[in-house]
Structure 1
Amino acid sequence: MGRIFKERTSVDKALRLFLESISPLRHTEEVPLEACAGRVLAEAVVSGRDVPHYRRAAMDGYAVRASDTPGASPANPVLLQLSDSIEEGTSMWVHTGAALPEGADAVVMVEDTVTAGDLVEIRAQVYPGRNVGQIGEDIKREDLVFEEGHLLRPCDAAVLASLGLNKVKVFRKPVVAIIPTGDELVSRETAREVPPPGMVLETNGLMTALYVDRWGGIPRFTGIVPDRPESIKEAVEANLDADMILLSGGTSVGKRDHSPEVVASLGKLLVHGVGLSPGKPAALGAIGKTPVVCLPGYPVAGLVALYFFVHPGIRKLGSIPEVPEIVLRKRLVAKISSKIGYVNFIRVVFEGDRVRPLMGAGAGVLSSVAKADGYVLVPENVEGYEEGQEVDVFLIE
């Protein structure tokens, strides 16, 4: 690669090229229901039983034969005998969820009754099935409960448990190797004091690993690699067993930026230079079947590249269905300026029912993301937004 960006690829095209290079993983594993939330089903779940498997009371009250209650009302109650069995003229107390006694076909809510010794005044007429949960009312035997590819939630785990399952087959999580590069980086584990001028604590790897975990991958964090092509190459080759490789830093066109050319030497460099601000130096490639993302070293630029490329990449690798983002419509307190030809990632803070752009927050100022409530994306063909204009606001994850 030369020392200038020879071309700048649009975000949409860059993402398309990158995703086309990724094949979903099809390896599966069984996990206990206690650990299934956030995992993706690798096979359809068909019920092997009825839920519930018995007729049950849906209310606290008295089990009765509906035919014993015609015309019952507060002004004209029907008297039934309390009993341990149900037959003509008798009733039996039942709790919510209890099995309905043999012979009963309805439940009268306790609110519609008055007890007097061993008699019960029934003050409401009921019909067969009233306040009764029928067999299979929730799920019937051989019902398709969940399809393959379903993203499991805690409530889904409860449904699976009600079917008598203890484990479920899911797709394996993608392993994502995270390789921080840079002679200026100092490990947080070994740092004993404030680094000297020109040296910085390595924090991009921490942020990247946490996002990988949040998005459904397994982060594998390596040690810091110096700005030498041979060292970066060795680190990449040592991690080609991972499902995705992320190189952090060394993506621009300076004398110490070697990551894209290393990827090109080992595989195919799909994109170097994206119409994204911040995030222009991002590079995308593939080494064999392993997708590679070169993340800019500036923290916010690296974060934006994570959002735009790593997240969709993990989603495709893990067959993770896309969950619609929460998007808020808000009016701007102040004008947003942007670069034509780039998708601009503008951090904003809430002010009541409006939003204000964070000004003076460059790609190296990571705290600007922590201070932001959300972000606005200005399309590449739009030159900013005016004060008072309504915009879509995406929440910072």
Structure 2
Amino acid sequence: MRGFRSLTPIEDAVKILGKHISHRVEEVEEVGLISALGRVCGEDVYSPIDSPAYDRSAVDGYALIAEDTFGASSTNPIRLKVIGRAETGAIPSDLPIVSRGEAAEIMTGAPIPPGANAVIRVEHVRRMEGFIEVEDQVAPLQNVSRRGEDYRRGEIVLRKGWVIKPWHVGALASLGIGRLKVLRRIRVALLSTGEEVVELGSRLKPGQVYDSTKPMLMALLSSYGAAPIDLGLAPDDPEIIAEKISRGVEEADMVIVSGGTSVGERDLVPEAVSRAGRIVVHGLAIRPGKPIGFAISSGKPIFMLSGFPVAALVGFQALVVPAIERILGCAFDPPPRVRGKLTRRISSPPGIRTYVRVRIFKDEDGEVMIEPLRVTGSGVLSTLTRGNGLLIIPEDLEGYDEGSEVEVELLSPIFEGG
């Protein structure tokens, strides 16, 4: 088997990738607010109104004139006459008018009655028949949410390129915005290669395996809001592979080919990819995933990922996600991280960034423990389903000793107990 001439560090590969991708998704579509979740905002969004639209109470209590409470104390309580009640949803003409020496009972979120300029919490007054006694001084505007405090009319709420989160949906709804322009979904064509790979639903023959990598990649793409296009399976024929890749370049914004990416005689993907585009990087200084690479055609990336699921996952996170961000002009949240103590020593070859599948759990004392999974094969999916994180060992380290405190990427919740 021929080896790689050189291996590219992952940071360099990402920079090279960004410089070569010129294709962009710019088409927008209008969707309902709930359907916008996870999509990329297609334009700057401005508030059409002041929010809140009026001064309102931030607490349950009594609306009053702050100056009436100046000098109030436990030895000098101030008595105020209760003249009415301000409820949530009340219209201004129904609100009592507060004058000096008066107060109005008020609910959280209710409009501040005319004349009042502060609210005292209900637990800070002594209630009497028709009156309240105040022993605490209240500052003007205390416990008052001012008109436009959340958003002023014309203020920017969302920027183009932001990924819509649930709290964005809530903010837009509070402003009466029910529809939103978002970028169309990025289209990603996927192709699996290999004579031994068969589609789900087929009967396995000796020497055959089900295609697990492509479904996993399609699920990953969907989680990033992409629209996967299934190009099916291709046999070990560079002409057929190249034809399918070219079709993918025409129909999609990027192409992912899994399997056959190494440098063995039957690994024909690099040859086929070179017919459909120009190979820019082939061979990364990572483990698993060394044979990963990418080409460019019409400004669009063509990724060569391993046919082994774990290596393909590493390649997806390392290269495909940055490419999606580049094409959409957005940034996704990085995976959450957690620190813990390593249960055993783990080694890594120098000059290689190693991704180790780990199980993260809390011991009996509540301490976070990081257990490297012993299975080393990059095609063993059980290391992902049994584990819940990735430990990334940088190129300048040869591993970590048992008991070392390390930081890992969290893929799923931490297990309780060993």
Using structure 2 for the length normalisation, give the TM-score. Answer: 0.86
8 A Cα contact 1:263 1:287, kept in partner: no
Structure 1, 282-291 or 61-70: larger mean CA deviation: 61-70
Aligned equivalent of 1:87:
99
1:2-34 Cα distance to aligned partner (Å, 9 max, x none): 954343333233322222221342332333221
Q: CA deviation at 1:79?
A: 2.9
Structure 1, 262-271 or 89-98: larger mean CA deviation: 89-98
AA aligned opposite 2:356? I
Identity %: 37
Q: CA deviation at 1:96?
A: 0.9
Aligned equivalent of 2:219:
210
Q: CA deviation at 1:378?
A: 2.3
8 A Cα contact 2:163 2:332, kept in partner: no
Matches within 5 A, 1:236-315: 236-240=245-249, 241-315=251-325
Q: CA deviation at 1:318?
A: 1.6
1:27-52 Cα distance to aligned partner (Å, 9 max, x none): 32333221223233333333332211
1:11 counterpart = 2:6? no
Q: CA deviation at 1:169?
A: 2.6
1:213-264 Cα distance to aligned partner (Å, 9 max, x none): 2233222223222222222122222222200100111212334322111110
Aligned equivalent of 1:115:
127
8 A Cα contact 2:295 2:301, kept in partner: yes
AA aligned opposite 2:215? L
- Shift of the 120–340 alpha-carbon distance from structure 1 to 2, 3 Å rule, reads closer
8 A Cα contact 1:274 1:282, kept in partner: yes
Alignment coverage as a number of residue pairs: 393
1:54 counterpart = 2:69? no
1:197 counterpart = 2:209? no
Structure 1, 220-229 or 324-333: larger mean CA deviation: 324-333
1:360 counterpart = 2:375? yes
Q: CA deviation at 1:177?
A: 0.9
- Shift of the 262–105 alpha-carbon distance from structure 1 to 2, 3 Å rule, reads same
8 A Cα contact 1:233 1:262, kept in partner: yes
Residue in structure 2 matching 1:226, options 235, 253, 262: 235
8 A Cα contact 2:231 2:248, kept in partner: no
Q: Aligned partners of 1:360, 1:83: CA distance in 2, in Å?
A: 75
Q: CA deviation at 1:208?
A: 0.3
Q: Secondary structure at the match of 2:113?
A: coil
8 A Cα contact 2:375 2:383, kept in partner: no
Aligned equivalent of 1:375:
390
Q: Aligned partners of 1:91, 1:380: CA distance in 2, in Å?
A: 69
Using structure 1 for the length normalisation, give the TM-score. Answer: 0.90
Q: CA deviation at 1:389?
A: 3.0
8 A Cα contact 2:57 2:144, kept in partner: yes
Q: Aligned partners of 2:106, 2:232: CA distance in 1, in Å?
A: 64
1:148 counterpart = 2:160? yes
Q: Secondary structure at the match of 1:329?
A: strand
Q: Aligned partners of 1:17, 1:88: CA distance in 2, in Å?
A: 71
Q: Aligned partners of 2:183, 2:267: CA distance in 1, in Å?
A: 36
AA aligned opposite 1:299? P
Q: Aligned partners of 2:371, 2:176: CA distance in 1, in Å?
A: 52
Q: CA deviation at 1:211?
A: 1.0
Aligned equivalent of 1:43:
43
Structure 1, 83-92 or 300-309: larger mean CA deviation: 83-92
Q: CA deviation at 1:276?
A: 1.8
Q: Secondary structure at the match of 2:62?
A: strand
Q: CA deviation at 1:287?
A: 1.7
Matches within 5 A, 1:101-140: 101-140=113-152
Cα root mean square deviation, aligned: 2.3
Structure 1, unpaired ranges of 5+: none
8 A Cα contact 2:245 2:276, kept in partner: no
Aligned equivalent of 1:387:
402
1:79-133 Cα distance to aligned partner (Å, 9 max, x none): 3333243223332221111111112222222213333333333343323222222
AA aligned opposite 1:256? R
Q: Aligned partners of 2:142, 2:223: CA distance in 1, in Å?
A: 46
Aligned equivalent of 2:338:
328
Q: Aligned partners of 1:260, 1:211: CA distance in 2, in Å?
A: 24
Q: Secondary structure at the match of 2:234?
A: coil
8 A Cα contact 1:228 1:256, kept in partner: no
1:253-300 Cα distance to aligned partner (Å, 9 max, x none): 334322111110121011222222111121210122221001111222
Q: Secondary structure at the match of 1:238?
A: helix
8 A Cα contact 1:349 1:374, kept in partner: yes
- Shift of the 202–135 alpha-carbon distance from structure 1 to 2, 3 Å rule, reads same
Q: Aligned partners of 1:70, 1:14: CA distance in 2, in Å?
A: 67
Q: CA deviation at 1:204?
A: 0.7
AA aligned opposite 2:245? V
8 A Cα contact 2:193 2:257, kept in partner: yes
Q: Aligned partners of 1:103, 1:72: CA distance in 2, in Å?
A: 20
- Shift of the 368–127 alpha-carbon distance from structure 1 to 2, 3 Å rule, reads closer
AA aligned opposite 2:16? L
- Shift of the 56–366 alpha-carbon distance from structure 1 to 2, 3 Å rule, reads same
AA aligned opposite 1:228? D
- Shift of the 181–81 alpha-carbon distance from structure 1 to 2, 3 Å rule, reads same
AA aligned opposite 1:118? G
Aligned equivalent of 2:90:
none
